[in-house]
A and B are shown apart, each in its own frame.
Chain A
Amino acid sequence: MEQTNQDKILPEVDAITARKTFRGRFFRNERWLIGAATIVLFLVVWEVAGRKNWVDQTFISRPSLVVRAAIQMLTSPDFYGHLSVSAIEFFVGFAAALLVGVGFGLFIGWYKNLEYSFEPFIMALYSTPRDALIPLIIIWLGIGLYSKMAVVFLGAVFPILVNTVAGIQNVDPVLIRAAKSFGAKERAIFRKVVLPASLPYMIAGIRLGVGRGLIGFVIGEMYVAEKGIGFLIMRAGSVLKTDDLLFLVSIIAGVGVLSNQLIRKFEEKVSRWRFERSV
């Protein structure tokens, strides 16, 4: 673990990229430049294909129409109602998942017997398509907000739970033994050794959980709902409004990428902090 951290922190010094010439600049930013170029190329080809009617507009729309749909939606107050419904569903469901995932995870990670007792359920639910439970959840909680919160919760809780347990169990036993020999009580060991050491795992689990939670409300709303982004996606699809549909999908994709990157940044920070402390 530490070894890989060390590898990451050392900056990669390359003879070409260090130079301040045009070539050097190109190589240093090669990733961004090539990436941006292909995106632009893709958009241009898409736009042209749409305009020239190479492919039916209903099938692929085109970037300019998507932008127009975006502006239209973003200026209508109706849209924000749907957005806030989705946001509420996500945040409530995710908060519950965080609470249960971390809390319960710490608990059963620390007491091995408990983990063994719950293992069959956790493993079964972890390896099932949990979104397949949506019809059942709807029988239980109806078609309103609660069922989507439950779907978000179910999606997010297992990655968080499983990673928290894994984090606790991967704490270096030498550290625990050392703390014990210096007379630390169980509570102190838990708070000062186990908790900080398993934090990176937890955050990795939370990152996965956010992704699953996002899928949760979208899919829940798409299945059956009266409000929300997923509902709008389904409606746009059923009336063949491809431009609206693509805009809505890109919102979800954008939120997905953004949250992923943010938590990754946070993850790096936490593991760096850990690294520095452990030296």
Chain B
Amino acid sequence: MEKQSRPWSRFFRRYKRVILGTTTFVLFVLVWEAVGRTKLIPPIFISRPSIILQVMVRELIRGKLLFHMTTSLLELTWGYLISIVIGVPLGLLMGRYRKIEFSLDPFTMLLYSTPIIALYPLIIIWAGIGKTSIVIITLLFAVFPIIVNTFTGVQSVDPSLIRAARSFGAREGQIFYKIVLPAAIPIVIAGLRLGLGRALIGVVIGEMFGGTAGLGYLIAYSGAFFKTANLFASLLIVVLMGIVFTQALKKVEETVSRHRYGGG
């Protein structure tokens, strides 16, 4: 008996994670579908997977969904790029120069622990409703993890390396490019990954509050009209985007750190 079941049990043990995960997921979807069909819970509350999928395909074909997706992606790209352009140099400077760190620390600390969304009405007063404010919110969401991680990355550089370089006559610029930057890169990239996640939140929230297009707008709009299936469809796309982005940057992170340790 035990001998017969062996290959199967070994297979199971090896892929236990995937098997169990998929099973519960499928089970969940099936129960959802069943409950939705029997209308035990009104469809307005939970809709059901088949209808959500239908809506998604229909909207994709119509091009409406694609339009909102590209709007969100564009805003995301702008906000995220600007946050990198601001965050990385600022983090580097703060990590390298103590005076800059000490003078900017109170502000970054405060803004890092403030719910950025509370600044939303202020941003609307400054930039009006529309793309600009959403890009600003995205930027604000993403920039602080990037600053803080870049800073931590620079601080974590082994000081003996810097001292060694200095005793061999390296100039500040050389120390920066040849030691600090390469050593800090893995942590900086971890910050970029966090920042991307936050940027996505920023876009969606920004659009939910004051957008006229984009996935967040779609979510808010569908919610306001009790179009639960549409709401789920848009949410699903946001979830997928979140997973894809995080995984992609994780891959980058792994490649970079492998390169670093492999090359050393």
Contact = CB atoms under 8 A, between A and B. Distances in A.
B104 A252 contact: no
Given A34-B102, A129-B201, A253 B113 contact: yes
Contacts of A11: none
A219 B115 contact: yes
B219 A117 contact: no
Contacts, number: 150
Given A132-B205, A240-B125, 14 more contacts: A34-B99, A34-B103, A37-B103, A124-B239, A128-B238, A129-B201, A129-B204, A133-B235, A135-B219, A136-B231, A245-B122, A249-B114, A249-B118, A253-B110
Contacts of A121: 24-25, 28
A33 B224 CA distance: 51
Contacts of A236: 121
B4 interface: no
B120 interface: yes
Interface of A: 30-31, 33-35, 37-39, 42, 58-59, 113, 116-121, 123-124, 127-129, 131-136, 138-140, 211, 214-215, 218-219, 222-223, 230, 233-234, 236-238, 240, 242, 245-246, 248-249, 252-253, 256-257, 260
B205 A131 contact: yes
A89 to B, nearest CB: 14
B117 A215 contact: yes
B109 A257 contact: yes
Contacts of A119: 17, 20-21
B121 A256 contact: no
B197 A140 contact: no
B115 A238 contact: no
A30 B200 CA distance: 37
A30 B98 contact: yes
A134 B235 CA distance: 11
B122 A35 contact: no
Contacts of A211: 113
A234 B119 CA distance: 10
B212 interface: no
A136 B235 contact: yes
B130 interface: no
A139 B45 contact: yes
B20 A117 contact: yes
B121 A238 contact: yes
A255 B243 CA distance: 31
A206 to B, nearest CB: 15
A138 B223 contact: yes
B44 interface: yes
B93 to A, nearest CB: 14
A233 B118 contact: yes
B114 A252 contact: yes
B132 to A, nearest CB: 14
Residue in A34, A39, A129 with the greatest tally of chain B CB atoms within 10 Å: A129
18 contacts: A34-B99, A35-B103, A120-B25, A121-B25, A128-B235, A129-B238, A131-B204, A135-B220, A136-B231, A138-B223, A140-B45, A218-B118, A222-B120, A223-B209, A238-B121, A252-B118, A256-B115, A260-B113
Contact of B21 (A34, A120, A135, A252): A120
Nearest to B205: A131
Contact of A116 (B20, B118, B204, B224): B20
A46 to B, nearest CB: 12
Contacts of A59: 125-126
Nearest to B44: A139
B47 to A, nearest CB: 10
Contact of B16 (A116, A132, A242, A246): A116
B17 A129 contact: no
Contacts of A245: 121-122
Contacts of B216: 132
A34 B99 CA distance: 7
A237 B224 contact: no
A120 B119 CA distance: 33
Contact of B113 (A113, A118, A248, A257): A257
A214 B220 contact: no
A223 B208 contact: yes
| Top 5 A-B residue pairs of the complex, sorted by shortest distance between their CB atoms | A237-B121, A135-B223, A34-B102, A256-B113, A129-B201
A124 B243 contact: yes
B185 interface: no
A249 B231 contact: no
B222 interface: yes
B106 interface: yes
Nearest to B105: A35
Given A30-B102, A131-B201, A117 B114 contact: no
Interface in B205-259: 205, 208-209, 216, 219-220, 222-224, 226, 228, 231-232, 235, 238-239, 242-243, 246
